[in-house]
Structure 1
Amino acid sequence: MLDPEAVEAFLLVAELQSFTKAAGALNTTQAAISLRLRRLEEGLGQRLLERTPRHVRLTVAGAHFLQPAKDYMASGRRAAAIFAQTPARLSIGITHHLVGPNLPKLLSRMNERETGVTLHLRTAGTRELLDRYDAGDLDAVIILRYDESRRDGEFLTEERFGWFAAPDFIIPDEAPLPLAIQAEPCNLRAMALKTLDSGSIAWREAFVGTGAISVSAAAEAGLAVALLAYKAAPSQLVDISEKTKLPPLPKRDIVLVSSVTGERAASVLRRLVLAFQAL
């Protein structure tokens, strides 16, 4: 019989390509993950993973075992769900500046392994999400930190920003720079205008929308240049920062503020965070 914990460890290491990240997702240690995998490989009589100081890769046997392992775990969850308690609820907010075409990939990370957790997702501006979190409407929020006014939260990663436009977009030589931008109050709007003003670059509003999705669409349509986080920028757009005279943009910390309790909800949140960091 296969050990479900060992199979789950194998699937996580294969997906995240990291023993460290897999250990974080399962709230355990690298040593424990290594032990589970060694026992799994000994039981199967096959080496499933190749591990080097820089890479973790599936062997041929590991690649063949991957889908059966997923099916095995799914069957176990369906069997256990017969006697499951009321589904847990996880209400999470993500700043709309970071939500782009990678959202389906982000959500798919919880789809294969987690049952019994209903995910409520809200996207909005940082200030609104924090207000809703403080009011108890959200269990956790993933936001951009713009200043030192609020220091609670766990640092996840640092986000880069760029000036994005359609590949064939031509910046006018004399006319003001057309911008796809969000309405006030918006921290990214303030960042864009402050950066352009510091470089003495004239600009005009060509499109005003809400969230990265809307301003990205305007940039894809060739209407304007959009300031976007790299995590939210569609692949159809290109960062024109290096080949233009547009000034560089500052980086911002991405942080998690959470009050999640309960093992199932916390497990889903950990995996979403790991997937978010990997985008």
Structure 2
Amino acid sequence: MSRGRIGSSGDLLQSYDRRELDAVIVRLQTSRDDGEMIAEERFGWFAAPDWQRRGYEPLPVAMLAEPCGVRAMASQVLDAAGIAWTEIFVGGGVAAVTAGLGVAVFAPRMLPLGAVDIGDRLGRPALPRLPIFIHSRLTEGPPRDALTTLSVAFRSAARG
């Protein structure tokens, strides 16, 4: 019986290396050459449509907990741009953005309903694209076909 798992890229790669998983799709692969890059995902700064920054207060940002690569990217970009920010929610940004509490970094394919890109409006720094890799021992049959379909979907979403 096949099963899937969602987790951090590091945890998924460790499970793959221990042969607990036959294939993984991960972001931010470092120092490995055994995966195939299937897409470069773009990101943006998103908030509720009516969200407004209050004066000169630090930018309220919702993020996932460490060791999230998107979290690291967002904090590095903000720090490099000299933008004061504060973490207002840990565990993802969907709830915080939906409630209008602050901003979060999302890939467009992961947006909460109603969220809008506020990067240009508020002069937020541009975010780099992050590579998505697939690692697989699957060579044929329905599982490999499903993995090929997922790869095509990621490529399509990254272009959008």
> Normalized against structure 2, the TM-score is what?
0.90
Aligned mate of 2:49, from 144, 167, 174: 167
* Residue-by-residue CA offset, 1:199-248 (whole Å, 9 max, x unaligned): 11111111011xxxx42222111111101122212341111111112111
The offset of 1:266, in angstroms, is 1.2
Alignment of structure 1 residues 210-225 onto 2, 5 Å: 214-225=92-103
Q: Distance in 2 between matches of 1:199 and 1:146?
A: 25
Give the number of the structure whose residues are more often helix, by fraction.
Answer: 1
For 1:276, the equivalent position in structure 2 comes to: 154
The one-letter amino acid paired with 1:183 is: A
| Distance in 1, Cα, partners of 2:66 & 2:28 | 18
Q: 1:129 aligns with which of 7, 12, 27?
A: 12
User: Could you tell me which residue of structure 2 aligns to residue 138 of structure 1?
Assistant: 21
Percent sequence identity over aligned pairs: 44
Query: Which structure has the greater CA radius of gyration?
Result: 1
Q: TM-score, normalised by structure 1?
A: 0.53
How far apart, in 1, do the equivalents of 2:20 and 2:107 lie?
A: 26
Write the distance in 1 (CA, Å) between the matches of 2:116 and 2:29: 25
Task: Please say if 1:177 is aligned against 2:55.
Answer: no
1:187 corresponds, among 49, 69, 87, to 69
- Report the residue type matching 2:41 in the other structure: E
CA distance in 1, matches of 2:127, 2:80: 11
Q: How many positions carry a matched residue from both structures? A: 157
Q: Secondary structure at the match of 1:247?
A: coil
Instruction: Give the equivalent residue in structure 2 for 1:248.
Output: 126
Change in Cα spacing, 1:260 to 1:146, as seen in structure 2 (3 Å) is closer
- Contact 2:28 2:69 (C-alpha < 8 Å) held by counterparts: no
Q: Give the letter for the 1:195 counterpart.
A: V
Residue 208 (structure 1) aligns with? 90
Q: Which residue among 133, 142, 149 is the counterpart of 1:264?
A: 142
CA distance in 1, matches of 2:114, 2:143: 35
Ranges in structure 2 where 5+ consecutive residues have no aligned partner: none
- 1:254 Cα deviation (Å)? 1.1
The equivalent residue for 1:228 is 106
Task: Name the CA distance, whole Å, in 2 between partners of 1:231 and 1:254.
Answer: 14
Distance 1:244 1:215 in 2: 18
Structure 1 distance, partners of 2:86, 2:34, is: 36
Contact 2:60 2:101 survives alignment (8 Å): yes
Contact 2:47 2:117 in 1 (8 A): yes
CA–CA distance in structure 2, aligned partners of residues 153 and 146 of structure 1: 8
User: 3-state SS of the aligned residue for 1:174?
Assistant: coil
CA distance in 1, matches of 2:38, 2:18: 23
For residue 19 of structure 2, give the secondary structure of its aligned residue in structure 1: coil
Q: Which amino acid aligns with 1:184?
A: E
Letter in 1 for 2:114: Q
Q: Which runs of 5+ in 1 are unaligned?
A: 1-88, 91-119
The higher relative CO (CA closer than 8 Å, separation ≥ 6) is in 2
Contact map agreement 1:146 1:252 (CA 8 A) in 2:
no
* Residue identity matched to 1:191: M
